[in-house]
Structure 1
Amino acid sequence: MADNTNATNTGDKAGTAETAASTAAARPANEQARIAPAAHATRHTMTIDGKEISYIANVGTIPIDTPKVRDASVVFYASFALDPTATGKTDPSRPVTFIFNGGPGSASTFLLMGSLAPKRISVPDAVPVPAAPYTLVDNAYTLLPVSDLVFVDAPGAGFSSILDAAKPELWSVDGDVAGFSAFIRAYLSQERRWNSPKYVLGESYGTTRGAALAYRLQQDGVALNGLTLISNILDYAYTIDTSDQFYIGYFPTFASVAKYHGRAASGAQIADHLQAARAFANGPLRLALAAGASLDDGTKRRVAERYAELTGLDAQYVYDSDLRVVDTRFRKALLRDEDRIVGRYDGRVAGYDLDRLNDTETFVVDDAYLDPAYSSLCNAYLRDELGWSGRDERRGFAALEWNSTEPGKGWVWWHKQPDNTKSSWDASIPFPNVLPDLAAAITHQPTLKVLLGNGIYDLCTPFFQTEYDIDHLGLPKPLRGNVAFTYYPAGHMLYSSEPSLAKFAADLKRFYAADASGLAAIDERPAEPAPDIHL
């Protein structure tokens, strides 16, 4: 644990963080104290770019209601704000950013400890992480100079509690979005931030939540200034391996991981290799998969050979897979001759498996490397340095039964589409596709700006699928520039690589400084050639 000599316990809320009633209900003080442990504030200083800044860290909870259950969840947050007593004034134009992981049902541990907070974990990149003790350092890449930060644990995860009676509502796509909207609005009331610029940053399933939340907040009277989505999954239809698009979306990430491990494109630049992979995936591979059983054997073999050339797999293996290599098999096959597998969350990571011939891994190697370090240091940081003394157990994930479809036990994946989409009025679908929500949010509020961050070695949420999704967002042409792509030489937790984190922080500062009309200067997505369509 890093030295905490620059932190001073201030007991209760400090500065602008004065206690106020949750908007969920006007509760008497004694009832509020019973439901939610008192917030705890500490003052800190750090030096960024040679300049000392003072900030206040708050750890606390806010109770939220659902339509059916009062005090359905007591939601934990860790917030960081510039100390107004150090500057002598409060800046009304200063943004506040709400940050959450995904899951669904995940705590904010990884983003809190690894990304944009004033402190971050320091662990080796893309290699096994030794056991404790771990190191906490001042974060030179914190977003705090630009925005106040609020990290949020999902109901039932981290230090957030949930009542059993509320699980059928909150453990669902739409109930989760409604719950986060309720929390944000309660926080804005509690901290007097209703007139501040507002941003949301979500990762993984947090991008599913974030896209839907941008639209839901508009319905609840809150307009976001900006939305940052990293490691995106916006349409679950293409997470199913019966879809041709599933295989097309993964292909360029297969190619990037193969190059990283020296199995493809020797001597080529990664950008050139990825462009070749994109062109193959969107051209020959797409046509071959669409042909199905009608594809002749000679063409199938040529496609398999080019597939193998770009990904380092054996051409016969690709051919025998009918050109459809699922991600779990790729992770096992790429380095099989070394008795190693590559990570799901970060394809740069390679480890060992107990059953090298099985198509599925015994465990996810990169998660096994990082999770104990992040979880252990998060517990120590929140308790020992920030003074949290509430709930004893910190859960990485809510206690969901992942194979259950029963409301209240498993996650309810149905999602109600926004009004006025091309689907029927008030339609619900049995999996989340939040592209209509994102399109509606941007169309309803044309000043909304969106940044999509993508790790090129992410084998969990492949970047090429996100490109496909945004190409099918359906925005009017004048609004298509409201969305910008950035790319990072890392995996799913793109901030776990320090060079990637440095770039991410710089990109965010440019994003916050720009308006929607200026995102072209940030957008890194390479231009694609127009499709060659002959009629």
Structure 2
Amino acid sequence: MKYKARKLVVIVYAVCVSFFAMAEESYERKPIIDSKQTSKHSTKINGKKIKYTATTGTQPVWDEEGTPTASLFYTYYQRTDIDNNTKRPLLISFNGGPGSASVWMHVAYTGPKVLNVDDEGYPLQPYGVKSNPYSILDVADIVFVNPVNTGYSRVLPDKEGKMPSKEQQKKMFFGVNADVKYLADWISTFVTRNNRWRSPKYLIGESYGTTRVSGLALELQRRQWMYVNGVILVSPTDIGIKREGPVKAANRLPYFAATAWYHKALPEDLQQLTLNDLLAQVEPFTVNEYLPALAKGGFIGDEEKQDIAKKVAKYSGLSVDEVLNNNLDIENSYFWKELLRSRKFTVGRLDSRYLGIDEKVSGSRPDYNAELTSWLHSFTPAINYYLREELNYVTDLKYNMFGNVHPWDRTKNKTGQNLRLAMAQNPYLNVMLQSGYFDGATNYFDAKYTMWQLDPSGLMKDRLSFKGYESGHMMYLRRQDLQEANQDIRDFIQQSLPTANQAAKY
């Protein structure tokens, strides 16, 4: 009996050790290199019931020897109540930063769920998500991709189990061209695994994501032999098209005017105009008078300088003295601090509808970005809840809203030129730009300027379009713009699909 009892104790001990070893291993914060979890759902879009699956998972990036170097987290929505997906578009979605997860457009713009926020986009509690009645899932399947170190995506150790050095990681992932190269490889694998080679394909990127998808358009053609039908640039960066000196300074004015109009800081005759009517005055002045005046620098005549200062002051909501004291060139940060100084508020950088309160009314720039703190209120709890509790993706990894990708190599940024070349080589390829009028980080007039300069020949301008909205960087947070911007994407996709037997030729 003593022997049997002793043997039983040993067995129990071994089981306990094994159990705790397994438990310890399961709680290690290691990325799963290759996995997926699929769940079934339904929703209503524009009043029509839609059935779909949501697949969350990870898919590796490989080096030339076939060794996994990173694992990228993605969420893939696929409509299931259709017979054949060969003609159904696939939208491949990226956010920006660089270093930002795909969370923003995922749970606030095109996906089947959006944040629980009010109609203007301000946070509400309890935090979470609700159905998106305007999602474009009715016309296209969507995959939201998280680049390395964002969301649950991570760099992997090498064959010897050692992490690549910071410099090695930079060469592999963290730069304009490295980013485009490995993501093109990843997209090719995803398309192959999911049998989407015959589907029309679209790229959408927000902010720095516009640099990313502009580069991807040509990279996919050159190295993956994959041709896309459309590129959507949401709140675009310069995509390598320089906007410097007088152009950079002048292009701010229409944004200043829009912001001042929103906060009722303009003279009465301008304030009573609609925003579009106001901008129809400001934009020609910016190009035809303000830009040439700034180009003259310190050699502008006193009378002309005074006249331009009065007009800039009238359109911006600032005083003539403030414009003159800044040599006609008003920095964004000064404007955000100055416009509502008398009301003791600052205005937001990414969305100037948002107000901030600084420690001191004096100063030349705000203490913080009022809009970003508000957005993180809503997005961080929502994405963590949604992925885990509704889509059943369970992990102890931290979801990186913003990941460590710096220093980012911005050299040799020719993504705008590459997008133009991709368009020239692919007659099917169309481009749409979307901007919020109250975005001070990537202002809407800069976006228009980029569109004008994208194809200097003008031979492809019928394939370029611009849409503006009365909101900021993430225009979709405002419910009216959520509806309009999604409809603009829906129309863009449907109108850019070639008709039956329409050949790709000039």
Q: TM-score, normalised to structure 2's length?
A: 0.86
Which segment is superposed worse, 315-324 or 42-51?
A: 42-51
Name the residue aligned to 1:302: 307
Q: Take 1:337 and 1:185, find their aligned partners in 2: how far apart are those partners?
A: 55
Choose which of 260, 263, 266 in structure 2 pairs with 1:261: 263
Structure 2 CA distance for aligned equivalents of residues 105 and 453 of structure 1: 21
String of CA shifts for 1:360-412, please: whole Å, max 9, x gaps: 221100001111211110010001110112352011112134xxxxxxxx111
2:106 aligned partner: 112
1:15-164 alignment, distance < 5 Å? 35-66=32-63, 70-83=67-80, 86-87=81-82, 89-126=83-120, 129-130=123-124, 132-163=125-156, 164=163
Aligned mates of 1:49, 1:459 — CA distance in 2? 32
SS of residue paired to 1:72: strand
Measure the CA separation in 1 of the matches of 2:239 and 2:184. 21
Question: Hey, what's the Cα distance between the residues in 1 that align with 2:281 and 2:336?
Answer: 21
Counterpart in 2 of 1:195? 198
Name which of 343, 347, 356 aligns with 1:351.
356
Q: What SS does the aligned partner of 1:484 have?
A: strand
Q: RMSD in angstroms over aligned alpha carbons? A: 2.0
Which residue of 1 is the match for residue 230 of structure 2? 226
User: Are 1:481 and 1:516, in contact at CA under 8 Å, matched by a contact in 2?
Assistant: no
- How far apart, CA to CA, are the structure 2 residues paired with 1:237 and 1:498? 32
**36-45 or 105-114: which moved more?**
36-45
* Amino acid in the other structure paired with 2:203: V
Report how far residue 493 of structure 1 moved. 0.4
Matched residue type, 1:92: T
One-letter amino acid of the counterpart of residue 101, structure 1: N
Q: 1:68 Cα shift?
A: 8.4
CA drift at 1:210: 0.9
- Structure 1: gaps of 5 or more residues: 1-32, 402-409, 416-431, 519-535
- Could you tell me how far apart the structure 2 residues matched to 1:193 and 1:466 are? 31
Check whether the contact 1:126–1:349 (CA below 8 A) recurs between aligned residues: no
| CA separation of 1:54 and 1:440: change in aligned 2, threshold 3 A | same
Q: Is 2:435 the counterpart of 1:454?
A: yes
Q: Is the 8 A contact 1:453 1:486 kept in 2?
A: yes
Distance in 2, Cα, partners of 1:34 & 1:76: 9
Amino acid at match of 2:277: D
Q: CA deviation at 1:358?
A: 2.3
Corresponding residue for residue 493 of structure 1: 474
1:395 to 389, 392, 400: 400
Structure 1 residue 287 corresponds to structure 2 residue 281: no
DSSP 3-state at the match of 1:114: coil
Q: Distance in 2 between matches of 1:150 and 1:502?
A: 20
- Maintained 8 Å contact 1:76/1:158: yes
- TM-superposition CA deviations, 1:65-111 (whole Å, max 9, x none): 2458932210110111112xx45x33311111111100012101111
Asked whether the equivalents of residues 100 and 153 of structure 1 are also in contact (C-alpha less than 8 Å), the reply is yes
1:370 aligns with 2:370: no
- Of residues 312, 318, 331 in structure 1, which corresponds to 2:317? 312
Instruction: Considering fraction of residues, name the structure with more helix.
Output: 2
Measured after TM superposition, the shift of residue 35 of structure 1 is 4.9
CA displacement, residues 296-342 of structure 1 (integer Å, 9 cap, x when unaligned): 22221111111010110111001000001011111111000011011
Give 1:475 deviation, angstroms. Answer: 5.0
Q: Specify the alignment match of 1:437 in structure 2.
A: 418
The correspondence for 1:513, drawn from 479, 491, 494, is: 494
The gaps in structure 2 that reach 5 residues or longer are 1-29, 157-162, 500-506
Provide the rounded CA distance (Å) in 2 between the counterparts of 1:448 and 1:201: 13
Shift of 1:476: 4.0
CA distance in 2, matches of 1:70, 1:295: 62
Distance across 1 between alignment mates of 2:426 and 2:364: 46
| Distance in 2 (alpha carbons) for counterparts of 1:361 and 1:56 | 44
Q: Which amino acid aligns with 1:496?
A: L
Corresponding residue SS for 1:134 = coil
C-alpha distance in 1, partners of 2:302/2:498? Answer: 49
CA drift at 1:161: 0.6
CA–CA separation in structure 2 for the residues paired with 1:50 and 1:295 = 59
Classify the secondary structure of the residue corresponding to 1:328. helix
Mapped partners of 1:276, 1:392: distance in 2: 51
Task: Name 2:15's counterpart in structure 1.
Answer: none
Taking the aligned partners of 1:103 and 1:69, their CA distance within structure 2 comes to: 29
Determine helix, strand or coil for the equivalent of 1:47.
Answer: strand
Q: Select between 310-319 and 89-98 the one with higher mean Cα deviation.
A: 89-98
Measured in 2, the distance between the counterparts of 1:175 and 1:244 equals 32
> Which SS does the other structure have where 2:405 is aligned?
coil
Larger Rg: 2
Change (3 A) 1:330 1:127: farther
**Contact residue 342 and residue 349 of structure 1 kept, 8 A:** yes
- Structure-2 residue corresponding to 1:7: none
State how many pairs are aligned: 456
Asked if the contact 2:347–2:355 (Cα under 8 Å) also holds between the matched residues in 1, the reply is yes
State the shift of 1:184 in Å. 0.8
Q: In the alignment, what sits opposite 1:411?
A: 408
Q: 1:514 is paired with a residue of what secondary structure? A: helix
With normalisation by structure 1, the TM-score equals 0.82
Q: Is this contact kept in 1: 2:241–2:450, CA < 8 A?
A: no
Counterpart residue number, 1:206: 209
In structure 1, the partner of 2:13 is none
Q: Give the distance between the partners of 1:126 and 1:343, measured in 2 at CA.
A: 14
Secondary structure of 2:384 counterpart: helix
**Distance between the aligned counterparts of 1:459 and 1:207, measured in 2?**
16
Does residue 324 of the first structure (1) align with residue 318 of the second (2)?
no
Q: Which amino acid aligns with 1:42?
A: S
Q: 1:441 to 1:107 in 2, by over 3 A?
A: same
Instruction: Find the counterpart in structure 2 of residue 405 from structure 1.
Output: none
Q: Which residue of 2 aligns with 1:278?
A: 283
Quickly say closer, same or farther: Cα 1:246–1:391, change in 2 above 3 A: farther
Q: How far, CA to CA, are the matches of 1:100 and 1:412 in structure 2?
A: 19
SS of the residue 1:62 aligns to = strand
Q: What's the CA shift for 1:357?
A: 2.0
Q: In 2 relative to 1, CA 120–78 (structure 1 residues): closer, same or farther, beyond 3 Å?
A: same
2:342 and 2:243 map into 1 onto residues whose CA distance is 28
Shift of 1:349: 1.4
Looking at structure 2, the residues matched to 471 and 346 of structure 1 have their Cα atoms a distance apart, in angstroms, of: 24
**Letter of the structure 2 residue corresponding to residue 454 of structure 1:** S
Aligned AA (1:148): D
